[in-house]
Amino acid sequence: MENTYLVVMAGGIGSRFWPFSRTHHPKQFHDVLGVGRSMLQLTVDRFHGICPPQNVFVVTNRDYTDLVQQHLPDLPADQILGEPIGRNTAPCIAYASYRIMKRDPKATIVVTPADHAVMHEEEFRRVIRQAVDAARAHEVLITLGIQPSRPDTGYGYIQFMDDDTSGLAGGLKKVKTFTEKPNLELAKMFVSSGDFLWNSGLFVWRADVIVNAFHQYLSDIAEVFDEGAQQLGTDQEIDFISRAYTRCRNISIDYGVMEKADNVYVLPADFGWSDLGTWDSLHRMGHHDADDNVVDGDALLYDTRECVIKTPLERLVVVQGLEGYIVAEYDNVLLICKRTEEQRVKEFVADVKAKKGAGYN
C-alpha cells in the first residue's frame, strides 16, 4: 500500500453539464448525485484503504486549487498540482508521474477522473487492487474497461483479444483497438460482439513504465519533463511547470500513448460506473420517483414523467405537464431542454458566450 499512489484529474470544465457545471465552478466541485459530497470528495473517498492519504495527488487548473483545498481540507497543498493551462490528459499525467517517480521510483499509480460515479464501491476497490497487483508485477499499461449495458454513443470503446496468450494472470486482456465515440449502428455491433468494453478513463501502471512510454511515444513531452525533473517537489516547481506547459501540445493519453503502445491491457469490470458526463447520465444514475423523474431540489411535480430536475433548495419549483425534459438551475441560469436534445447543450453554451458575454458560461 505504501508504494501505491492516486492521481485525480480534476481540471476539466464539464460543459455538457451546463448550467450546473461552469467555468468558475465545474461539476467535480458539485454534489451532482445529491448525496452531500462533491464528485471530487466521492472520488477520493472510494480509494480509502487502497493508498495512504500522503500518496493522493490532485491535478487541477491553478484557478481551482483553492476549490480543491476547500473540498479536501486534509490534503496538503504540495499534493495539489496546479496546471497553468489545460493541455488534455497526457501532460497532466506526465506532470504527476514525474513528480511521483522522483519521490518513489517503485511507485504504482492509479489515475482517475474526478467526476465519475461508481455505485458498487466494494467491487470497485477489489478491481483496483487486482489491477495494482498486476501493474506492480508486470511492465504493462492497464486501463479499466466497463462491461457495456447498452449501445451508448457517448463512450469510447476498447476491443480486447479473446485468445489470451499473454501469459499474464489476473483477468487482464490484451487490447486490440481503441475506438472513439461511435455512431449508434456501430455501438450496437460492438455490444453484441461481446469483445468490446466501455473506456472508463481509469488507468493503472508503475511510474517507471508510464515514464518509459512517454519517452517512446510522446518524446517531446518526455523531453520537457526530463529537463526539469529535478525542480519538481522544490520551490522552483511552479516556475518550471509554467514554462513546461507552454511547450507541451494538447493531446490525450489515449491518443498519445494507449493507442500506440504494445503493452496495453484491459481489465474488464462491472461496478456500476458512469462518467456522469451528461444530464441523461444523471437520469440513469439518480434516484427515480414513481414517474421515473430524478429530482434534486424543492419541487412539486404534476403530470410529469421521465425528467431530470436539479434546482436550488432555496427555490420552490412547480412543474406541470413535462415529459422527458431537463430543468436545471444554477446561479444565474435556468435551462429547460428536452432530454433527447441534450447534445445541444454545448451549442447553447457557445451561443450564450457569444450573445450574452462570459458571465454565464
Q: Are 134 and 30 in contact (CB under 8 A)?
A: no
What's the CA angle centered on 16, arms 348 and 179, to 5 degrees? 125
Write down the pLDDT at residue 96. 98
The secondary structure of 202-261 as a DSSP string is: EEEEEHHHHHHHHHHH-HHHHHHHHHHGGGTTSTTHHHHHHHHHHHS----HIIIIITT-
pLDDT band at 155; cut points 50, 70, 90: confident
Write down the pLDDT at residue 161. 81
Average pLDDT over residues 272-280: 86
Nearest to 130 by CA among 168, 178, 175, 177: 168
In a domain, 11, yes or no: yes
Write down the pLDDT at residue 7. 98
Domain boundary among 230, 259, 274: 274
Domain boundary among 257, 274, 291: 274
In a domain, 176, yes or no: yes
In a domain, 188, yes or no: yes
> What mean pLDDT is reported for the chain?
91
The yes-or-no verdict on residue 157 having pLDDT over 60 is yes
Domain boundary among 274, 298, 317: 274
Measure the CA–CA gap between 248 and 101, rounded to whole angstroms.
Answer: 20
pLDDT band at 304; cut points 50, 70, 90: very high
Tell whether 314 and 176 lie within a shared domain. no
Tell whether 175 and 314 lie within a shared domain. no
Tell whether 85 and 171 lie within a shared domain. yes
Residue 323 pairs in a beta bridge with 305
Tell whether 174 and 206 lie within a shared domain. yes
Between 333 and 23, the more confident residue is 333
Give the model confidence (pLDDT) of 172-219 as tens digits: 888 887 888 877 888 888 777 778 888 889 999 999 999 999 999 999
Write down the pLDDT at residue 169. 62
Tell whether 192 and 105 lie within a shared domain. yes
What is the CATH number for 147? 3.90.550.10
Give the model confidence (pLDDT) of 313-325 as tens digits: 999 999 999 999 9
Tell whether 180 and 313 lie within a shared domain. no
Residue reference for cell 450574452: 356
Tell whether 185 and 331 lie within a shared domain. no
SS3 for 109-175, per residue?
Answer: EEEEECCCEECCHHHHHHHHHHHHHHHHHCCCEEEEEECCCCCCCCCCEEEECCCCCCCCCCCCEEE
In a domain, 324, yes or no: yes
The yes-or-no verdict on residue 280 having pLDDT over 90 is no
Tell whether 52 and 90 lie within a shared domain. yes
pLDDT band at 163; cut points 50, 70, 90: low
Cell, residue 311: 434546482
Give the model confidence (pLDDT) of 206-254 as tens digits: 999 999 999 999 999 999 999 999 999 999 999 999 999 999 999 999 9
Question: Is the Cα dihedral 154, 147, 34, 48 positive or negative?
Answer: negative
Percent of the chain with pLDDT over 70: 98
Provide the b/e sequence for 341-352 (b: ≥16 CB within 10 Å): ebeebeebbeeb
In a domain, 141, yes or no: yes
pLDDT band at 168; cut points 50, 70, 90: low
Domain, as residue range, for 107 = 4-274
Please tell me the total number of residues recorded for the chain in this structure.
Answer: 361
Minimum mean pLDDT range among 29-43, 76-90, 125-139, 171-185: 171-185
Tell whether 220 and 109 lie within a shared domain. yes
In a domain, 71, yes or no: yes
The yes-or-no verdict on residue 286 having pLDDT over 90 is no
pLDDT band at 85; cut points 50, 70, 90: very high
Tell whether 290 and 251 lie within a shared domain. no
In a domain, 361, yes or no: no
Give the model confidence (pLDDT) of 8-20 as tens digits: 999 888 788 899 8
Tell whether 63 and 45 lie within a shared domain. yes
Tell whether 224 and 348 lie within a shared domain. no
Number of independent structural domains in the chain: 2
Write down the pLDDT at residue 164. 58
Measure the CA–CA gap between 17 and 21, rounded to whole angstroms.
Answer: 5
In a domain, 252, yes or no: yes
